[in-house]
Structure 1
Amino acid sequence: MMFTNPEVILVEAYVHGYSETEAGRLQDQASTLVELLHPSVSFPAGSRILEPGCGVGAQTLYLAGKNPASRITAFDISPDSVRRAREKVARAGLSNVAVEVADIFNLPYGAGTFDHLFVCFLLEHLQDPAAALLRLKDMLRENGSVSVIEGDHGSYYCHPRSERADLVVRCLVEVQARKRGNSLIGRELYPLLDRAGFREVQVSPRMVYVDRTRPQLVEGFTRKTFIAMIEGVREEALSLELTDEETWDGGIADLYRTTREDGTFCYTFFTAVAFK
């Protein structure tokens, strides 16, 4: 998959795929992490908000729910993802959201059209996130703001510690890198936004810590979000000979081991806010 722009900026294919399983994982992720990731994305009434790379609309629903008096334009390059996002918006009865097919390098909006940008789990999938931020910045009015949320797979750790578990996580990092994405991008948000010319860049870590006292996170994050994401690249990791079947299966088993009563799991997201 490529943008219409002659520069190839998007990864060749979304690393996690477009299956129903992946759509469900994205919704589980959004539902589980909404309180952690969305408290800073409330905007003044009447705001015009642009959400690029909205995917199946998992984050769009929460963005719209927190900003009922704002107008949200969400877009994605995948027509199938846009169809699913529109279905979600319709089922939720949201009248303040428009979901469109578009690409970052050929946007149908005028410069300065929007008051705010909401960029969530997008930059890690782009070959040139800095160029994408520059294009998106053009869509903002003067003094408009941008909110960016990204993960960083290098921040993961667990108990019991497992070299096999570490290996399968590194397999996802490598698979995404070979698609010219970057699953370690959370740590780079400050320099990316700074180089793009945004002002007053502030980055905050948002840690997800999981043990048996947080059963919703055990199920919703460790199992259905993180481990499911790793499992999704199994065939690619094996075909690239990044590991063998026995080691892969053992690593996945060790990740599931962290969801038992004496296990713990930790991961850090990064949120950034800046101004044009």
Structure 2
Amino acid sequence: MTTRPENIPSKIRQNTYTHGHHESVLRSHRSRTAENSAAYLLPRLAAGQSLLDVGCGPGTITADLAERVAPGTVTAVEITAEALSLAQEEIASRGIDNVRFAVADVHALDFPDDTFDVVHAHQVLQHVADPVLALKEMRRVCKPGGVIAARDGDYGGFRWFPEVPALDEWLRLYQALATSNGGHPDAGRRLRSWALEAGFPEDAITTGASSWVYATPAERQWWADLWAERTTKSSTGTQYVEKGLAYVEDLDAVAAGWHSWADKHDGWFNVVHGEIVCVA
């Protein structure tokens, strides 16, 4: 068992969510399901379990997990009430009644030790200031013998075809921005290392990877539209300019590159994710 951290410096608790909550971001996040985003965890779930969903976002994965553990309960947490309201709306629209909600910081979760059977975080650790501390907290609130599961993208492992120079620039810009915000855009490859540093024994960690692939005309168009809009219309685009990483004209060129890639009949894009399941 780990001990709940006390008096954590405020600078450690400051998480900057690089993506923001523009419609183009939410459109992407709402496409996520337990099947396409948490398949590695599903064999570990059973009816009656209690589950903590850290950084639940708009709640589509949360809802699927709640259906799988019912009549057990899911506690969905987000860093702000505004962000949490997105999940509350999704859960209400689906008529699911076994989800509770709380505003919480993963660096200092306001739950007693040994509370949950399962603690889950999807695309969270890449954004937090201290992923090791986050995993320690996730372990603390997990019951002995329970599981902690995390899945994160690894931007350095993203691959696409054909080569489009504007997408190289997109990746460079995103990695620079995420890093400047205290994030870890290569989190996927670091999950096992972070878990070891957090105190999990080697034999308690199961490591894997999976990917999303966009290759059909419809998939390419959808993926390109998301990133073109994020680059030029969301708070991400604003941050690029405010931090001096790019001019508006540069962002327009990146967006055009996304559309150019989507128009390639042989276009292919692979989004790779690292995954860990750790036994508490």
1:228 to 1:137, Cα distance in 2 relative to 1, 3 A: farther
1:211 equivalent in alignment to 2:215: yes
Q: Report how far residue 150 of structure 1 moved.
A: 0.5
Corresponding residue of 1:264: 268
Deviations along 1:192-249, whole A, 9 cap, x unmatched?
112212242122121222222x73x3344x2355554444322221333323333332
| TM-aligned CA distance change 1:5 to 1:196, over 3 Å | closer
Distance across 1 between alignment mates of 2:35 and 2:70: 17
Gap regions ≥5 residues in structure 1: none
State which of 103, 106, 111 in structure 2 corresponds to 1:104. 106
Aligned residue number for residue 273 of structure 1:
277
Cα 1:264–1:23 change in 2 (3 A) is closer
Map of 2:3 onto structure 1: none
Partners of 1:127 and 1:195 lie apart in 2 by 15
**Equivalent AA in structure 2 for residue 41 of structure 1:** L
**Hey, what does 2:182 align to over in structure 1?**
180
Query: Aligned letter for 2:36?
Result: L
| Contact 1:257 1:263 survives alignment (8 Å) | no
Cα separation, partners in 2 of 1:64 and 1:78, compared to 1, 3 Å: same
Go from structure 1 to structure 2 and tell me whether the alpha carbon gap of 1:21 and 1:186 turns closer, same or farther (over 3 Å shift): same
Q: Does 1:251 align with 2:259?
A: no
Closer, same or farther in 2 for the Cα pair 1:72/1:173, shift >3 Å?
same
Aligned to 2:4: none
Name 1:149's counterpart in structure 2: 151
Mapping for residues 63-142 of structure 1, pairs under 5 Å: 63-142=65-144
Q: Are 1:11 and 1:180, in contact at CA under 8 Å, matched by a contact in 2? A: no
CA distance in 2, matches of 1:35, 1:18: 23
Give yes or no for contact 1:11–1:179 (8 Å, CA) kept in 2: no
Q: TM-score, normalised by structure 1?
A: 0.87
Q: Does 2:202 align with 1:201?
A: no
Gap runs ≥5 in structure 2? 1-6
For 2:276 and 2:172, how far apart are their aligned partners in 1?
Answer: 25
Check the 8 A contact 1:130/1:196 in 2, yes or no.
yes
1:168 is matched by which residue type in structure 2?
W
The 3-state SS of whatever aligns with 1:132 is helix
Deviation at 1:37, TM superposition (A): 2.3
How far, CA to CA, are the matches of 1:138 and 1:246 in structure 2?
47
Residues 127 and 183, structure 2, Cα contact 8 Å, conserved in 1? yes
Relative to structure 1, is the Cα distance of residues 38 and 225 closer, same or farther in structure 2, using a 3 angstrom cutoff? farther
Give 1:113 shift. Answer: 0.8
Aligned-pair Cα RMSD in Å? 2.3
Percentage of identical aligned residues: 23
